Amino acid sequence: MSRSRLLPTGIAFLLIAAFVAAGALYARATLPFESPDETWHMAIVRYIRRYRALPPMVVSARIETASDLARFYGYHEPPLYYAPPLYYSLAALLAAPLSPMEDLPELIVPSPCWERGWGLVPGTSPENKNFFAHRFGEEASSSTVRVLYVLRGLSLLLGVATLLALWRAARLLWPERPWLCVGALAIAALTPQFIATSSGVTNDSLTNLLFALSFAAGIAARRSGS
C-alpha cells in the first residue's frame, strides 16, 4: 500500500479511536438510565431475560397530569415500550450470566420534580436536571447497573462496527479519493449525537449498523454488476 493510501487509513483508525474514547467518557459521565429511553430498553431486556419470551404490546393510558407523567416514567411490567426484538434478544443473552436484574424496578424512580410539573425544558425550573432520582447504591452495589454499563459497551462496539461499515462504503464510492472518505468518516465519528447514542443502552445502535451494512452491501453489489 502506497503512503498516499496508508496515511488516510491511519487517520481513519485514529478517528475511530477518538470515537471510542469520547463514547467511553459519555458512558461513564451519564448517570444510569439518563440516556434517552434507557429505562424502557433495560425493561425489555429484563423481561426477555426473566421470562425467555417477548413482551406483549401494551397500550399506555393517556397522560393528562404531571402525576400521570411521573407514573409513565416509572417501571412497568410488561414494558410500555415495544420495538423489533433482535437487539433486545442479543442484549438479554449478554446479560443472562451477569445479573437477573431483579432490582431494576426499585432503581427506576422518577424524579420528584415530575410530580410538580417541572420537566427538563431549559429555563423552566432550576431544580430538575435528571429524569430519575439517583442514589449511591446504583454505583456501589447493584449488579443491574453493572449490566447497564456492559450494555452501553455493547452499543459502543456496535457504533465502531457502524463506522467501519461506513468507511467501507465510502471507499467503494470514492476509491480514488481517500481524503473524501476520511471526511465522511470524520463527520460520523465526531457527531456528538451519534457518540451519545452509541454510549447508551438503545436499539438504535444495532439499527445504525444494519443500515450501514446494507448501504455498503448495496454499493458493492452495484459496483460488481450483480
Domain assignment present for residue 223? The answer is no
Count of domains forming the chain? 1
Q: What string of DSSP letters covers 48-103?
A: HHHHSSPPPP-PPPP--SHHHHHHHTS--SS-S----SHHHHHHHHHHTTT---TT
Domain assignment present for residue 155? The answer is yes
Per-residue pLDDT of 152-197, as tens digits, reads 999 999 999 999 999 999 999 998 899 999 999 999 999 999 999 9
201 CB neighbour count, 10 Å cutoff: 30
What per-residue confidence (pLDDT) applies to 132? 86
Q: pTM for this one?
A: 0.88
Domain assignment present for residue 44? The answer is yes
What mean pLDDT is reported for the chain?
Answer: 88
What per-residue confidence (pLDDT) applies to 124? 63
What per-residue confidence (pLDDT) applies to 75? 83
Domain assignment present for residue 225? The answer is no
Domain assignment present for residue 222? The answer is no
Domain assignment present for residue 111? The answer is yes
Residue 120 is classified by DSSP as S
Q: Flag residues of the chain having pLDDT under 70.
A: 1-5, 115, 117-128, 137, 140, 226
Kindly report whether the peptide bond that precedes residue 100 is cis, defined as omega within 30 degrees of 0.
no
What per-residue confidence (pLDDT) applies to 133? 84
Cβ contact 92:48 at 8 Å: yes
Domain assignment present for residue 48? The answer is yes
Q: Which residue range(s) make up the domain with 134? A: 3-217
Domain assignment present for residue 224? The answer is no
What per-residue confidence (pLDDT) applies to 126? 62
Segment 29-32 long-range contacts (CB within 8 Å, at least 24 positions apart): 30/196, 30/199, 30/200, 31/130, 31/132, 31/134, 31/138, 32/107, 32/132, 32/134, 32/138, 32/139, 32/145, 32/148
